Amino acid sequence: MGKKIKFSLIYRDMWQSSGKFQPRKDQLERIAPVFVEMGCFARVETNGGAFEQVNLLAGENPNDSVRAYTKILHEAGIQTHMLDRGLNALRMYPVPDDVRALMYKVKHAQGVDIPRIFDGLNDIRNIAPSIKWAKEAGMIPQAALCITTSPIHTLEYYCKLADEEIEAGAEEICLKDMAGIGQPAFLGQLTKMIKDKHPNIVIEYHGHSGPGLSMASMLEVAKNGADILDVAIEPLSWGMVHPDLISVQSMLKNAGFDVPEINMDAYMKARAMTQEFIDEWLGYFINPKNKISSSLLLGCGLPGGMMGSMMADLGGIHATINNLRKKKGEAELSLDDMLIKLFDEVAYVWPRVGYPPLVTPFSQYTKNIALMNLLTIEQGKGRFVMMDDSMWGMILGKSGKVPGEIAPEIVALAKEKGLEFTTADPHTLIPNALDDFRKEMDENGWEYGQDDEELFELAMHPEQYRNYKSGQAKKNFLADLQKAKDAKLGASISIEEATAFKHAKADAIVAPVKGQIFWEFQGDGEAVAATEPFIGKEYAEGDKLCYIQAPWGEFVEVPAALGGQLVEINGKQGSKVNKGDVIAYIQRSEA
């Protein structure tokens, strides 16, 4: 019998790569015993990035979900693991050291065995502290190599990073092929080189299906010593997600590997139950295009899970670009034309911003730079003129060192703007924050929770947690769900009629000054990355809606007029507006 290969079910990532939300606690409790019954999983991914946060956004308590979910799996001898974004922990922007350290204590107490620690820049300075804190908390630290294909991401580059992670205390290595663009032969060689040097280190391969290479990659890494493969199940496997368990097991079994058998009755139960979750509510937030693979992803290297948001972003500027082209007497572009242009622009931008591995959040930053470039090129302004502080933060080194060199034109632009590059260890730039959050909880009379888990949620996701505690998150979510259902059913009136009706009942929130839109602001002169608020969010009279950074540098607060429900957003994060432009519409509450 050949080498033994174990399987890990990536149930959290299956949902993240498909849509917006995760199953509720009651749904996870129902399906966990079925995973056990399948009899083929050594591990299940239970939580991590885009789990805790979206639970809060849905008005659910993620701590209750994690405890209930992991308990069932542990009782059956199945290990649980989570996704950990290193410096960013469970969110999209940096987290203070004391909050990061607390995370491992909380998650271990809740029943999570293994954190998969990755850094979007493969900067060991962002990974090593997490390994240390995870070990101190009693967890098994797994450190990731974010796989991409570029002139500088060589076998030697990745072997050096693996050596550094193992020296820092990592007990396992994950080949995190987040875009599925890792070449099979390369991944096989890399696996062998790491195993030859570190034979006792567990290697787990995580490869998305996007461009279609992951099955070949799985076979190559298995042949060269990988121990565990991440798999998905129908109806969420393939497309932008992961290869299906049945196909992977069949391929390896016929290649002579020792693989576990699958209880197919239980597989069909899990398949049907997952479809039930989709039909009940989760499917309203899933983009059908995420079920489709695309070889085009090989050219730009973007993760497949970004396709949904990327198409929405393209749709947002499609009409604007075509209007500009019409004025110049040029042919209009279809959405497919725009997609190819965006892929080409990502390929242009990526080396010039230092080849950051295209994974959260740096894939988003790189894509956003390319997207803004498409617009400003059509406007005749050239490239790199609409970059917000998040994008500049990556370039300047505030999040870590990019693997390559920043292009001279961008260095010159930074100098022109008075921006400074830094080589400081990123986590030293962020002050500790737990004392302030303890004070807030004390003032509100909120319990810290079992093992300080509620304190941790507030510190990790402040805005989402406050909305969860107030009940506003559930209201926003239910409004969002109803709108999604209405959109799915279709309306009997035209889009133009619906828009006119909506605007007739709403206040237009206009820009008081010319400048750049930011939906959040730290208050010390630094804007931060933020997505737009949810459609359906409620505002009281005079509440802050957003900020505009004026040309002279001042941040001007834009109030939400007389308050009401947010029904439309016209201003994206980082976009530029003129005085009087409509930023959003807020519908006044009925009398």
List, for residues 457-481, the tens digit of each pLDDT value. 999 999 899 999 999 889 888 888 8
C-alpha to C-alpha distance for 115 and 477, rounded to whole angstroms: 29
Side-by-side strand order, sheet with 555-559: 555-559, 544-549, 515-518, 576-577
pTM over 0.85: no
pLDDT at 40 over 90: yes
pLDDT greater at residue 12 or residue 316:
12
C-alpha to C-alpha distance for 361 and 336, rounded to whole angstroms: 25
What's the pLDDT at 306?
60
Whether the upstream peptide bond of residue 361 has omega within 30° of 0, thus cis, is: yes
pLDDT at 529 over 50: no
- What is the distance in angstroms between the CA of the first residue and the CA of the last residue of the chain? 74
Phi, psi for residue 267 in degrees, rounded to 5: -55, -45
pLDDT at 523 over 90: no
pLDDT greater at residue 288 or residue 68:
68
Place 525 in a pLDDT band, splitting at 50, 70 and 90: very low
What's the pLDDT at 88?
92
What's the pLDDT at 502?
55
Place 212 in a pLDDT band, splitting at 50, 70 and 90: very high
List, for residues 111-124, the tens digit of each pLDDT value. 999 999 999 899 99
What's the pLDDT at 512?
85
List, for residues 267-296, the tens digit of each pLDDT value. 999 999 999 999 999 998 887 877 888 887
pLDDT at 545 over 60: yes
What average pLDDT does range 363-367 have in this prediction?
86
What average pLDDT does range 38-62 have in this prediction?
93
Which range has the top average pLDDT, 66-75, 344-353, 508-517? 66-75
What's the pLDDT at 459?
97
8 Å CB contact between 181 and 211? yes
Q: Which of 22, 26, 64, 61 is nearest to 45 (CA)?
A: 22
pLDDT at 589 over 60: no
Helices (H) and strands (E) in the chain, counts: 22, 16
What's the pLDDT at 491?
45
Residues whose CB falls within 8 Å of the CB of residue 98, separated by 6 or more in sequence, listed in order: 432, 433, 434
Q: Which of 287, 288, 307, 289 is nearest to 297 (CA)?
A: 307
List, for residues 135-157, the tens digit of each pLDDT value. 999 999 999 999 999 999 999 99
The SS3 of residue 545 is: strand
Which range has the top average pLDDT, 7-11, 388-392, 466-470? 7-11
Counted residue by residue, the chain has a size of: 591
What's the pLDDT at 503?
57
C-alpha to C-alpha distance for 509 and 503, rounded to whole angstroms: 11
Q: What is the token pair recorded at 399? A: 């999040």
List, for residues 160-185, the tens digit of each pLDDT value. 999 999 999 999 999 999 989 999 99
Give me the percent of the chain exceeding a pLDDT of 70: 92
What's the pLDDT at 514?
85
pLDDT at 482 over 60: yes
What's the pLDDT at 214?
96
What's the pLDDT at 257?
98
DSSP-derived secondary structure letter, 512: S
pLDDT at 203 over 80: yes
What average pLDDT does range 518-540 have in this prediction?
60
Query: Cα 569 from chain centroid?
Result: 21
Which range has the top average pLDDT, 315-319, 353-357, 577-581? 353-357
What's the pLDDT at 504?
58
Place 528 in a pLDDT band, splitting at 50, 70 and 90: very low
pLDDT at 1 over 90: no
Q: Which of 456, 566, 544, 535 is nearest to 20 (CA)?
A: 535
What would the 3-class secondary structure string for 474-495 be? HHHHHHHHHHHHHHHHCCCCCH
List, for residues 485-500, the tens digit of each pLDDT value. 877 765 444 445 545 5
List, for residues 422-456, the tens digit of each pLDDT value. 999 999 999 999 999 999 999 999 999 999 999 99
The SS3 of residue 7 is: strand
List, for residues 219-270, the tens digit of each pLDDT value. 999 999 999 999 999 999 999 899 999 999 999 999 999 999 999 999 999 9
> How much is the mean pLDDT over the chain?
89
What's the pLDDT at 524?
37
The SS3 of residue 335 is: helix
Place 522 in a pLDDT band, splitting at 50, 70 and 90: very low
